[in-house]
Amino acid sequence: MAQNMREIKRRIRSFDKNRQITKAMKMVAASKLRRAQQQAEAARPYAEKLRDVIVHLANGTSNVNHPMLASRPVRKAGYLVITSDRGLAGGYNSNLLRKLTQTLDQRHDNNDEYVIFVIGRKGLEYLQRRKYPVIDYVTGLGDSPTFAGIKEIARQAVQFYAEERFDELYLVYNKFVSAVNQHPEEKRLLPLAAEELAQSQEGTALSTMIEFEPSEEEVLQVILPRYAETLIYSALLEAKASEFAMRMAAMTNATDNATEMIDNLTLQYNRARQAAITQEIAEIVGGANAL
């Protein structure tokens, strides 16, 4: 009985230490989530204004001839996958990679029909272990990624499309909706969707605000790749916010589970202690009666 009580106390101490760790990790994730949300929101105005400029240029230029705007027969596809470098984030990586592999299995017959760019160590390890065609990757971006950290892989992905090494480029990442709602998202990045070129009030207003030099065609040639790279960076910021939100939820669940286990073990310990006391009293009374 005493040995059983010591084991229960040991387990209670163990769960209590784990609870302290998961509670601290939850608070850290909540703090980082706020910063990630602010960073994602701060990047949106630039991407939106860049889109408005492209809308104006594409609609105001009579002879638009850029591979990023033209659909072509798809012989090969490219995928840029954004995962995390660390775990302990619930289903953040597993749900995304499951969606990716299901998409690849449904859309392609073999590995020669696509290539993959990877951001994040978890995705890289998963895909390399299963022999997927990963041609470039970036890891170790930290909790506050900068555009400089992914500039090269974004530039290479866009350049490969322009050089027709593949005919479509997809972004696969966790889309951030709110602190309690994130989901895997697959988005076609190139060629730019037709709705991206739809005339808007902002695009019309730009015609009286901006003069383009040396010409609208040449500016469009330069700005379209920058826009695609900006979309990749925006997706990375959303993915980072999703990571912290899911890590916070995972640590909250872990803390709650540890608390529940401690309560159950405490109840077991009290019952065992009460049984031990009752047994001791019964032995004392039995001894007194025998005397």
Q: Which helix (H) or strand (E) holds 41?
A: helix 2-60
Lowest mean pLDDT, pick from 58-62, 72-76, 230-234, 286-290? 58-62
In percent, the amount of the chain with pLDDT more than 90 equals 49
Task: Give the per-residue pLDDT at 204.
Answer: 46
Question: Residue 47 pLDDT > 50, yes or no?
Answer: yes
Q: What pLDDT, in 10s, does the model give residues 203-221?
A: 444 545 667 777 777 777 7
**Record: fold of 28-249:** Pyruvate Kinase; Chain: A, domain 1 (3.40.1380)
Question: Contact, 15 vs 262, CB < 8 A?
Answer: yes
Mean pLDDT, rounded, for 98-123:
94
Concatenating the DSSP letter of every residue in 131-179 gives T--EEEEE----SS--HHHHHHHHHHHHHHHHTTSSSEEEEEEEEEEET
Task: Give the per-residue pLDDT at 185.
Answer: 92
* pLDDT mean across residues, the chain: 85
What is the band of 291 on the pLDDT scale with cuts at 50, 70, 90? low
Task: Give the per-residue pLDDT at 97.
Answer: 95
Q: Which helix (H) or strand (E) holds 105?
A: helix 92-107
- Residue 190: closest CA among 73, 99, 78: 78
Angle CA(25)–CA(31)–CA(33) in degrees, nearest 5?
A: 100
Question: Residue 201 pLDDT > 50, yes or no?
Answer: no
Mean pLDDT, rounded, for 87-95:
91
The pairing of strands 168-178 and 134-138 is: unpaired
Question: What is the model's pTM?
Answer: 0.83
Lowest mean pLDDT, pick from 19-28, 44-53, 74-83, 260-269? 44-53
Task: Give the per-residue pLDDT at 199.
Answer: 44
Task: Give the per-residue pLDDT at 192.
Answer: 76
Task: Give the per-residue pLDDT at 2.
Answer: 63
Q: What pLDDT, in 10s, does the model give residues 149-200?
A: 999 999 999 999 988 899 999 999 999 988 888 999 998 888 876 555 554 4
Q: Which two tokens stand for residue 179?
A: 């602190």
User: CA neighbours within 13 Å on the CB side: how many for 200?
Assistant: 18
Mean pLDDT, rounded, for 5-32:
92
Concatenating the DSSP letter of every residue in 266-289 gives HHHHHHHHHHHHHHHHHHHHHHHH
Question: Residue 61 pLDDT > 70, yes or no?
Answer: no
Mean pLDDT, rounded, for 235-248:
93
